[in-house]
Amino acid sequence: MDLRRTSGWLECDSEAHKCVVNLAAFDAFIRRQLEASIPEDHDFSPQVLAAAERLCDGNIDLREINCEDHNGELRWHLHSTHLAVPSMLQFVESGAKEAKHVSATDRSEVIRTCLAVVRSATPLGKGKSVNPDLSFNANKILAILQSACAHAEPHVQWSRTQVDYACDSRLAAVHHSMKQGHFKNDRVDTKKARVDREGSKCKKPNAAQSKQTQQTLAAAVTGLIPYGKLSKARNMLDLEEELLFRGIPVEEIPPLISERKEMLKHLEIERLTAEGTKEDDAAKLKTFKKQSNAPFKTSD
């Protein structure tokens, strides 16, 4: 809504902030920031200036990790000197939740059976037990071959002398236990059946997660000034001008900045209460709306 002819406001009903934003004041704020002079003692490196010029021309993408092209040396310097945040907070939280689910998983789901299965029969030793004249590696290889033959020979005899296919049945049982005959399949099927049986029931919502919280708006958006940003070096005269504008005599203005802020807070509570705000809600606010023409700079 264009109200610049009457009040100087250019209103925009922001759905994100749930309030009306004065675009004219926001534009003036942005222009003041752009027109602020850069300190002379601030020394930018040549690599930073070159990267800024190429970014403005659209000739470089600093998010790439390719350091082999014509921008590789400049990109590597910026990545190694001004390291960016490695990942977004959203993905970090997602990884933490996944790790929590993994740690809470029942370990018995991956236990196969109570059947004992020999995983490895490789001899462990660092001596030259087979042939002292050969090297350590040669003795190790020979020991592995002898161990494999010693473990395989009984199976050959059992297979030849088996009765009622006892050896083949034992081998089939071990193979089945290692491939699919473990507890995991039964437990997964049980969980699927429970989900199918109880999935249609409505779960009680989490009261902590469903509770709506008020969105925090920055001072640049609302036009309000936080009390905590006021300092003695910057805002003593601003507080004096604001208190004078609100009707406080000059001889009653306290000398300490903490007392001035406390007096201003009481005056702001009175103003909000007169406009219809509850006194308890007004007392909880940590910002105020200036009434005078004091600049109230919140940064040096």
Alpha-carbon gap, residue 265 to 273, rounded angstroms: 12
Cα–Cα distances in Å, from 128 out to 123, 134, 144, 147, 163? 12, 8, 13, 15, 41
* Dihedral sign of CA atoms 108, 112, 116, 121 in order: negative
State both tokens at 129.
């037990």
pLDDT of residue 43: 65
Cβ atoms of 273 and 259 closer than 8 Å: no
The domain locations on the chain are: 1-36, 50-93, 115-192, 219-288
H-run or E-run covering 245: helix 232-245
User: Which tens digits make up the pLDDT trace of 175-203?
Assistant: 777 666 666 667 778 888 888 888 777 77
**Which tokens belong to 293?**
């023409």
**pLDDT classification of 41: cutoffs 50, 70, 90:** low
Helix (H) or strand (E) holding 90: helix 89-103
- Residue recorded with tokens 């930018």: 44
Per-residue model confidence as pLDDT tens digits over 123-162: 766 667 778 888 888 888 888 888 888 888 888 888 889 8
Maximum CA extent, the chain: 115
Whether residue 109 contacts residue 183, with contact meaning beta carbons closer than 8 Å, is answered with yes
**pLDDT score recorded for residue 107:** 46
* Least confident range of 74-88, 135-149, 230-244: 74-88
Report field, pTM of the whole predicted structure over 0.75: no
Q: Supply the pLDDT for residue 144.
A: 85
